[in-house]
Amino acid sequence: MYPYHNKIKQRIYNNELLSYEFVEKYKDISPCLVLHFDTDPKIRPIREHRFKEYDAVFIQLAKI
């Protein structure tokens, strides 16, 4: 199993994240948190059931 979210979080902590946005629909994911990175793959979608998990990551980063 590919550790999708672990890799994404590591990229966030490595300061590769440029921006993020909540969108109504991205491809077949609705709603979706879309993460924009400066390295490939540049876009990573996150499904709704993971939103709280990523909120916690963003809050933790804001404290650093």
Q: How many CB atoms lie within 10 A of CB 40?
A: 6
C-alpha–C-alpha distance, residues 49 and 36, integer Å: 19
Instruction: Compute the distance between CA of residue 30 and CA of residue 18 in angstroms, rounded to an integer.
Output: 22
Residue 53: predicted pLDDT: 96
Q: What is the H or E stretch that residue 49 is in?
A: none
Number of structural domains (the chain) is 1
- Other Cβ atoms within 10 Å of 17 Cβ, number: 20
Boundaries of domain holding 53: 4-63
pLDDT in tens, the chain (64 residues): 579 999 999 999 999 999 999 999 999 999 999 999 999 999 999 999 999 999 999 999 888 7
Position of tokens 């933790």? 60
